[in-house]
Amino acid sequence: MFKLLTSQPLPPRVPQWEEFGGHCGVGSANPDKIENLWTDEMMKLTNADLNDNVHNPVIKQLEVSSGIKI
């Protein structure tokens, strides 16, 4: 189906997916609307907005590995 020009397999290009009938929305005549993962509000966040535990984590060693002392 796909002609390889190198020893390493190359990923199919969009026209090749179209010939194949599409794959995961690639080459689809009516692609699904893509929604952004991050909102504009999220993109404005900075390190100052992070919880203090991110900058100064409190790490206490457990008495036992399971965390449950018998």
Q: Is residue 29 domain-resident?
A: no
Residue by residue, DSSP assigns 11-38 as PPPHHHHHHHT-BTTBT-SSPPPPPPSS
Q: Is residue 57 domain-resident?
A: yes
pLDDT above 60 for 4? no
Q: For the residues 15-25, what does the mean pLDDT come to?
A: 70
Residue bearing the bigger pLDDT, 65 or 1: 65
Enclosing domain of residue 69: 37-70
pLDDT above 60 for 5? no
Number of domains observed in the structure of the chain: 1
Q: Is residue 1 domain-resident?
A: no
The answer for residues whose C-beta is within 8 angstroms of residue 16's C-beta and 6 or more apart is 1, 2, 27
pLDDT tens string 24-62: 666 566 667 778 888 999 999 998 998 888 888 888 888
- Whole-number pLDDT of residue 7: 61
Q: Is residue 7 domain-resident?
A: no
